[in-house]
Amino acid sequence: MAYKHTNSKGVTYYLNSKAVTLRGGKTQTIYYFSKDERKDTGSDLPGTMSVNENPRNGFLTLKRK
C-alpha cells in the first residue's frame, strides 16, 4: 500500500516512485504524487524525506530532512 497524504484542501494524494536512468548512466529513484492509487509504482515514504505542502495551491512535494 502506497503512502497517502491529504492536503489542506481535502484532496488525497498517493506517493509513487520510479527508477530512471540519467544521461550519464546513473540510476536514480524519483518520487511523485498522484491523485489515484497505482499498484505498480506505489511507494512508502522514505525515512530521510518529509512531505512539504505549498500553501497557495496545496501541491505536495518531498523535502529532505
Residue 1 has pLDDT above 80, yes or no: no
Encode pLDDT of 2-34 as tens digits: 999 999 999 999 999 999 999 999 999 999 999
Which residues form the domain of 46?
Answer: 4-64
- pLDDT attached to residue 60: 96
Residue given cell 530521510 in the structure block: 48
Region 26-52 average pLDDT: 95
What is the four-CA torsion angle of 44, 1, 57, 49, rounded to 10 degrees?
A: -10
pTM of the model: 0.88
The answer to whether residues 31 and 38 touch, using CB atoms and an 8 Å cutoff, is: no
Helix (H, G, I), strand (E, B) or coil at 65: coil
Q: How many domains does the chain have?
A: 1
- Amino acid at site 31: Y
